[in-house]
Copies of this chain bind each other. A is one copy, B any other.
């Protein structure tokens, strides 16, 4: 059993690689829901949707989100009627949001609605929201406190970030299956998602970070930072806003209390060597160097294989050391 923590589009690509090399019944995907929002009164879970569309083979690879070859006539009509139109909901995509909203209105928890939709889309891997509670990522900027999608989509992450908070986090409860998956998996993988606003909300759910610290399984993360910038999106600016270096060392620091293994890109071979040196005198993770840029499907598969192999290697080494 392998458990992945993920959010965003980079995370979905990583999951796509895993999906192609792991039997679906052995794959549990814990997804960020801090970006969830009501949009025209419908419950939208952007990160869950990206995972569902990816696993169902429906995602628009061109855009990285939404359904391939989708149209946008409902959105256009909404704009004409004076409703907000900055979040790009396609007509085929809209069906999923309507179905989720109805399932929730019928009394299902988000995890139940997600399982129902996944089943209808023919998805066999287990997709779990991090929580059924409302936990909302808020981005404090000079323009005020924004929801993540306002910051990311509406304002194209141009605002300087003063602070991040996860509204509702203190009372949130991990969704059924989340803690068990972390405790009982053979490997835990953190996708190359934005640490602050994709993985951060998951870690903010009380109990999850503790489970990651305590699990016997190796915990590995793929760095979304290559060199001194994020592969895509605002991960660099967000790490920096939280006082972390925009580097693989910054990512290692962000996850320092539970991370066993950091998977970094070949471009970071020197930084990896420095991080290994640092390890001698600290709790820095092991470092595995491979190609992490997922330019095409082969690259996705190769990264998934390399990450799993490195995790396995780490466990074997640890086991041998313990026996010695």
Contact = CB atoms under 8 A, between A and B. Distances in A.
Given A102-B40, A102-B41, A95 B78 contact: yes
A106 B40 CA distance: 11
Contacts of A81: 95-96, 99, 117, 120-121
B74 A91 contact: yes
A70 interface: yes
Instruction: Give the number of times this chain occurs in the complex, counting copies.
Output: 2
Which among A41, A42, A75, A102 has the greatest number of chain B C-beta atoms within 10 A? Answer: A41
A99 B70 CA distance: 21
A309 B127 CA distance: 67
Interface residues of A, number: 30
A95 B74 contact: yes
Interface of A: 40-42, 67, 70-71, 73-78, 81-83, 90-92, 94-96, 98-99, 101-102, 105-106, 117, 120-121
Given A81-B120, A81-B121, A82-B120, A73 B99 contact: no
12 contacts: A40-B99, A71-B73, A73-B73, A73-B91, A74-B91, A74-B94, A74-B98, A76-B92, A77-B91, A78-B95, A81-B95, A98-B98
Contacts of A91: 71, 73-74, 77, 91, 94
A94 B96 CA distance: 13
A313 B60 CA distance: 65
Which among A40, A74, A117 has the greatest number of chain B C-beta atoms within 10 A? Answer: A74
A302 B198 CA distance: 64
Contacts of A82: 120
B78 A98 contact: yes
A78 B92 CA distance: 8
A88 B53 CA distance: 25
A314 to B, nearest CB: 41
A92 to B, nearest CB: 5
A121 B80 CA distance: 8
Contacts of A120: 81-82
A107 to B, nearest CB: 12
A85 to B, nearest CB: 10
Contacts of A106: 41
